[in-house]
Structure 1
Amino acid sequence: MSDATGRGQGHQTSAQVIEQSEREEGIVRAGGTPVTHERPEDWGWHAEAGKVGRIVGWLFVLVMLSFLVGNHEGRVEDLWVLGFALALVVMLLWDVRRRKNSWRSR
């Protein structure tokens, strides 16, 4: 509900609509500055995990396969563990192939 000051229902008295180059129009609060350009680095980490990430991936495969050894009697969980380990192996092998052929055109 709107109160007596006219605020509410989308009425912001301290904001103004501005035109930004190469962007849609935006609303800037009083005392603020419009954003001119945002780089991916400004929003967080964007790189690959690299060699360490691939090594850790293969270690995860070994850890998951070690889950098959144990005192459990049901085999349904073995199928799930094997399925997840196989999916991880497929992703790691795809990454190896992608890195190997990355300089070539398709």
Structure 2
Amino acid sequence: MASTEVERHTGVDVEEVPSAQWGWSSGSVRGYQIGGTIVGIFFLLLTIGNHQGHVEDLFMIGFALLTFGLVARSVYTTRNRDTR
């Protein structure tokens, strides 16, 4: 008799990585998104200070925008997926 259980294929061999059976073999997408947002905010906080020139500020704003862009792309591409 056929089993009615659904087997999930994660692309990781359970014999090589035993923890893959519980879903622990991949990173947390939501955790990466939260971490990226915190890093982007940190970049913006680095613009506060006693700078004489504002070249550093432009670089920090650029890095923050790049980080927020990558987080937004991640949110957009994983919006219909189970992120755990």
Q: Work out which of the residue numbers 69, 77, 81 in structure 1 matches 2:56.
A: 77
Counterpart contact for 2:47–2:57, Cα < 8 Å: yes
TM-score by length of 2: 0.61
Give the number of the structure with larger relative contact order, counting CA–CA contacts within 8 Å between residues 6 or more apart: 2
Which of the pair is proportionally richer in helix?
2
Residue ranges of structure 1 left out of the alignment (5+ in a row): 1-38
The number of residues matched between the two structures is 63
What RMSD in Å do the two structures reach over aligned CA positions?
2.5
Counterpart contact for 2:36–2:71, Cα < 8 Å: yes
Which of the pair is proportionally richer in strand?
1
Task: Note the C-alpha offset of 1:101.
Answer: 4.9
Q: Percent identity?
A: 28
TM-score by length of 1: 0.50
Residue ranges of structure 2 left out of the alignment (5+ in a row): 1-12, 18-24
Higher radius of gyration, 1 or 2? 1
Structure 1 distance, partners of 2:78, 2:29, is 11
